[in-house]
Chain A
Amino acid sequence: MAEPRETSFPSLFERSRAGRRAARPPRHDGPDLGGLLGEEQLRDAPPRLPEVSELDLVRHFTQLAHRQFSIDGNVYPLGSCTMKYNPKVHEEAARLFQDLHPYQAPETAQGTLQLLFELQRDLAALTGMEAVSLQPAAGAHGELTGILMIRAYHQARGEGAQRRVVIVPDGAHGTNPATASMAGYRVVEVRSDARGEVDLEAFRQALGPEVAAVMLTNPNTVGVFETHILEIARLAHEAGAQLYYDGANLNAIVGRVRPGDMGFDVVHLNLHKTFTTPHGGGGPGTGPIGVKAHLADFLPVPLVVREDDGYALSEDVPRSIGRIRSFYGNVGNLVRAYAYIRSLGLDGLRRVSGHAVLNANYLRVKMQEAGFTVPVERLNMHEFVAQPPDGVHTLDVAKALLDYGMHPMTVYFPLIVKEAMMVEPTETESLETLDAYAAALGEILARAAADPGYLEGAPYATPVRRLDEVTAARQPVLRYAFDDA
Chain B
Amino acid sequence: MPYLPHSADDVRRALETIGVDSIDALFDELPSTLRNPDIDLPPAMDETTLMGHLRALAAKDVTAGPNFLGGGMRRHFIPAVTPALALQSEFVTAYTPYQPEVAQGVLQATFEFQTMMSELTGLDVANASMYDGATAVAEAALLAVRQTRRETVLVSRGVHPETRDVLATYLEALEIAVHTVDLEAGRTPPPGAVEDAACVIAQQPNHLGLLEDMGGLAEAAHAAGALFVAAVDPLSLAVLKPPGVYGADVAVGDGQVLGNPMAFGGPSFGFMVVRTALLRQLPGRLVGQTTDVDGKRAFVLTLQAREQHIRRSKAKSNICSNHQLTALMATVNMAALGPEGLREMAVGSVRQAHRLLERLRAAGAKPAVDAPFFNEFPLATRRPGGEVRSALAARGVQAGVPLGAEYGLGNAVLLCATELVTDRDIETLIDALRGSAELDGVAAHHG
Contact = CB atoms under 8 A, between A and B. Distances in A.
Contacts of B143: none
A326 B129 CA distance: 16
A137 B132 contact: yes
A479 B244 CA distance: 15
B387 to A, nearest CB: 10
B58 A111 contact: yes
Given A354-B27, A466-B292, 9 more contacts: A58-B84, A69-B103, A97-B58, A256-B30, A284-B269, A325-B132, A346-B41, A399-B101, A463-B101
A376 interface: no
The 5 closest A-B pairs by CB, nearest first: A327-B265, A68-B105, A280-B325, A345-B44, A2-B295
Interface residues of B, number: 205
Interface string B1-39: 111111000110111011110011011111100111101
23 contacts: A28-B348, A57-B335, A66-B105, A99-B261, A101-B74, A103-B69, A111-B57, A128-B37, A178-B315, A257-B34, A280-B92, A282-B285, A284-B266, A324-B170, A326-B133, A327-B162, A331-B263, A343-B50, A345-B43, A348-B44, A381-B26, A464-B294, A473-B303
A49 B86 contact: no
A78 B103 CA distance: 14
A12 B125 contact: no
Contacts of A262: 31, 34
Nearest to A136: B131
Interface string B35-78: 11101111111010011011111111111000101011111110
B293 interface: yes
Interface string B288-326: 111111111110101111011111111101111111111
A303 B336 CA distance: 38
Nearest to A346: B41
A359 B15 CA distance: 9
A473 B339 contact: no
B350 A138 contact: no
B335 to A, nearest CB: 5
A342 to B, nearest CB: 5
Interface in B320-373: 320-326, 328, 332-345, 347-348, 350-352, 354-355, 372
A279 interface: yes
A472 B293 contact: no
B103 to A, nearest CB: 6
A318 interface: no
A327 B166 CA distance: 11
B237 A138 contact: no
B34 A365 contact: no
Contacts, number: 682
Interface stretch (A202-210, A386-394, A426-434, A445-453): A426-434
A428 B170 CA distance: 38
Interface residues of A, number: 201
Interface string A127-158: 01000000001111101100010010000000
B105 A64 contact: yes
B287 interface: yes
A247 interface: no
A125 B168 CA distance: 32
Contacts of A350: 36
A122 B102 contact: no
Contacts of B29: 224-225, 227, 379
Contact of B14 (A13, A184, A431): A431
A25 B288 contact: no
B263 A279 contact: no
Contact of A72 (B90, B106, B401): B90
Contacts of B13: 431
Contacts of B90: 65-66, 68-70, 72-73
A178 B128 contact: no
Interface in B124-177: 124-126, 128-129, 131-135, 160, 162-163, 165-166, 168-170, 172-175
Interface in A78-133: 78, 81, 83-87, 89, 91-94, 96-105, 107-112, 114-115, 122, 125-126, 128
A306 interface: no
B40 A125 contact: yes
Given A89-B47, A178-B315, A325-B135, A348 B1 contact: yes
B294 A331 contact: no
Contacts of A428: 3-5
B308 A140 contact: yes
B297 A8 contact: yes
B59 to A, nearest CB: 7
B339 A46 contact: yes
Contact of A326 (B19, B59, B134, B352): B134
A293 B165 CA distance: 24
A144 B128 contact: no
A347 B38 CA distance: 11
A194 interface: no
A427 B59 CA distance: 34
B431 interface: no
A282 B302 contact: no
Of B14, B264, B305, the most chain A CB neighbours within 10 A belong to B264
